[in-house]
Chains A and B, each alone.
Chain A
């Protein structure tokens, strides 16, 4: 118990100390969080009237970011899977960073759901026993279950690993490994269920196809590791923790496969829908070419497609891929391309036209954008802190020493921003 207390104290003391650059980054995030607080206050006081949402397009930026971030959370498994199933040494050494990313991504998912809800004050209605938890019928209930489960698995797995590392005790593999294997399968489940959330509604023909779960997973396993590579490159340059090229190269390979698959699935959808061009393809027509003079989403679609193809080309060419500057560019392109594809490119045209054929465009308001940035800022703040702590423990900057030996040395020098993501 004493050890645990010391762990908490040391961990907290370590993560709150940093260089001026670290504090500047935290301050920047806090500034964005102020916007979130203001937006949340307005939503709570006055409802969602400040958003660009309508009865026609009633899910927008918040739900789109939720869907995307579930993918990022699931994408963390691209570190854990090769590390523990294929015993990839370089990834094994940093697997805990993937778990930290998963925790922050799931937290962001929850924040976005709260922003999306009309009555977040009534969230307790979903609790079993005191409320009604409509399982097995409601996909949203399933999604809540798998997301909370995933958060739990990663929290327990990640912090168990860190705690053991901190105290210098070996891992109890009988406890730890099953946790890891369950979390690998669980990662697939969260994004599959999120796809089911949308594609089980025949009222929205654009979503109603069986390809959506696999497409969600393939895009998630491209966007997730893209973000991880970017984090790794920052960690390598800004902290003392050296992440081996082998780890980054392995992730780049995974992105290449998954992005290729995602592009192939996009092509399949376009051909399937546009060949017959029934009424069910109106949403896709609107997205790709615009309809009846409404063209808001057209540049987003083509921009996203071009970004994804460019990323794929860079990743496919070994000469370019091994240049880490170009690789970083590819990761940024893939990340942004998929964010658009899953956000504005998937969610919004699902509502256009409405089931009675009405075309209404959706444009997020400034407040909506601020709330979105704020939710991301909370997630990045949590991610920064979690990564800083994890890296500190990995490096041995914090470790347990018996109380008789006096104060534990806390090394903060050189620890700049653990994860400066922009």
Chain B
């Protein structure tokens, strides 16, 4: 344990057990709003069902009905995939009052996406986490604030003369030294609700984490309906329309990379990013799991993930692991890289390195 992760005045939720990751405790009034929206929702769905029953052309009801019956995306024919995406495009465009594209670009031939992060350079500014939320249409706001990237703050470590007598046996320290239990260096556990006036803070190192896009992902193995799977070009994706919300994948993930939509995501119309991919950043629904996809909607079109683009210190590198000249391949070839929790045999395609 690198740090006592007790109550944090701003983060609040580190210990209070609330849904939000960076937002304070849900208040009574929000609960009331919740109830209100619940009743409105149910009225909506009732109306939708009624519309269906009378064979009316209530488009919303019809799209949702068709969505409910659609098969697993991975197993659909190309025509079915196009149909499913078209349905979603129409629904999203209406719901968010803008033209929404739901792309379906398949895995690229000869590409294996990989990522490398220079922990020496990271200053803990969390612009990556913010850019990710904006790019990937995560839920935001008080009730349900969701971030796929968490930046862990860790102590550089210190050894003090005062602690020398605190060992075991008292005064001798022949079994446990007095400076035991003080964290030092890069460990996976860290504080990720830190509030700082300026970064980088003194005596701190930062390590951002997100989905490691494992080559042998334990989350995929435990999924009872194979809604989450590894795409040929590397990223582990989720068919949000096929997920049954059992959360086995969340238990199985050793990196705490997955998030659950406890209620309908709160995605303001004006903030919604209309350039989406079916397996990537399209808006999710309540009761399903989501996670980082290496910005599949960008990277399959030859762009960088949003976090790579926004990083002010160039700590984040992305590229094709099969191309020896890609940045990521060159880093793996020339630097000392490591994977998190390598003993889990998950073989992440997310590498850490130091200059």
> Does B21 interact with chain A (Cβ within 8 Å)?
yes
The listed residue (A59, A294, A350, A353) touching B247 by CB distance below 8 A is A59
Interface hits, A46-71 → B, CB 8 Å: 46-59
Task: Report the stretch among B166-174, B249-257, B323-331 that lies at the interface.
Answer: B249-257
Measured in the bound complex, the distance between the Cα atoms of B14 and A204 in whole Å is: 19
The dominant DSSP class at the B interface is loop
Residues in B1-17 with C-beta less than 8 Å from chain A: 1-2, 4-6, 13-17
Q: How far is the CB of A264 from chain B (nearest CB, A)?
A: 28
Is B222 a contact of A140 with CB atoms below 8 Å?
yes
Instruction: Known A203-B344, A359-B6; judge A282-B1 contact (CB<8 A).
Output: yes
Flag if B190 contacts A117 (CB, 8 Å).
no
| Among B38, B41, B250, B264, contact of A55 (Cβ-Cβ < 8 Å) | B250
**Given the interface contacts A118-B260, A279-B1, A358-B192, does A138 sit within 8 Å of B248 by beta carbon?**
yes
Q: Does B263 contact A (CB under 8 A)?
A: yes
A294→B250 contact, CB < 8 A: no
Considering the chains assembled together, what is the distance between the CA atoms of A46 and B274 in angstroms? 25
Count of chain A residues with a beta carbon within 8 Å of a chain B beta carbon: 61
Residues in B with CB closer than 8 Å to A361 are 15-17
B149 part of interface (Cβ distance < 8 Å): no
B254 A47 Cβ-Cβ under 8 A: no
Which of the segments B85-93, B124-132, B237-245, B295-303 contacts the partner chain? B237-245
Q: A276 at interface (Cβ–Cβ under 8 A)?
A: no
Which stretch (B55-63, B224-232, B305-313) binds chain A?
B224-232
Q: A132-B226, A357-B1, A359-B5 are in contact. Are A58 and B41 (CB under 8 A)?
A: no
Q: Does A357 lie within 8 Å of B37, measured CB to CB?
A: no
The answer to whether B225 and A131 have CB atoms under 8 Å apart is yes
| B18 in the interface (beta carbon within 8 A) | yes
Smallest CB separation, A46 vs chain B (Å): 4
Verify if B189 is at the interface (C-beta below 8 Å from A): yes
CB-based contact A45/B41 at 8 Å: yes
Per-position 1/0 for B112-138, Cβ under 8 A of A = 000000000000000000000000000
Contact with B along A119-131 (1 / 0, CB 8 A): 1111101100001
| Minimal beta-carbon separation of A43 from chain B (angstroms) | 9
Q: Which B residues are CB-close (under 8 A) to A203?
A: 218, 251-254, 344
Query: Is A356 an interface position by the 8 A CB rule?
Result: yes
Q: Are A48 and B287 in contact (CB under 8 A)?
A: yes
**Residue contact A119 to B243, C-beta cutoff 8 Å:** yes
Chain B CB within 10 A, most for which of A47, A144, A353, A354: A47
- Please give, as numbers and ranges, the residues of chain B lying within 8 Å of A56 by CB-CB distance: 17, 256
Q: Mark B10-34, 1 if CB is under 8 A from A, else 0.
A: 0001111111010000000000001
Residue B143 interfacial (CB < 8 Å): yes
B14: chain A residues at CB < 8 Å are 358-360
What are the residues of chain B within 8 A of A403 when measuring CB–CB?
none
Residue on B nearest A63 in the bound complex, by CB: B247
Instruction: Select one of B1, B18, B222, B227 contacting A201, CB under 8 A.
Output: B222
The answer to whether A118 touches B6 (Cβ under 8 A) is no
A289 beta carbon closer than 8 Å to chain B: no
**In the complex, which of the residues A46, A120, A126, A204 has the most CB atoms of chain B within 10 Å of its own CB atom?**
A46
Contact call A118/B243, Cβ cutoff below 8 A: yes
Interface: A363 (CB within 8 A): yes
- A-facing mask of B150-194, CB < 8 A → 1, else 0? 101000000000000000000000000000000000001110100
* Beta-carbon contacts under 8 Å, B250-298 to A: 250-256, 258-264, 286-289
Cβ 8 A contact of B262, one of A47, A132, A140, A282: A47
* 26 sampled A-B residue pairs with Cβ under 8 A: A45-B38, A46-B38, A52-B17, A55-B19, A55-B250, A118-B245, A118-B261, A119-B287, A122-B68, A125-B227, A125-B242, A132-B227, A139-B222, A141-B224, A203-B254, A292-B6, A353-B1, A354-B256, A355-B188, A355-B253, A355-B255, A356-B189, A356-B192, A357-B2, A358-B192, A361-B15
Spell out A's residues near B (CB within 8 Å). 41-42, 45-59, 116-123, 125-126, 131-134, 137-141, 144, 198, 200-204, 279, 282, 292-294, 350-351, 353-363
Give 14 A-B pairs besides A47-B263, A202-B344 with Cβ atoms closer than 8 angstroms. Answer: A41-B42, A45-B38, A54-B18, A55-B250, A56-B256, A119-B243, A125-B225, A132-B226, A201-B222, A201-B251, A294-B6, A356-B192, A357-B188, A357-B190
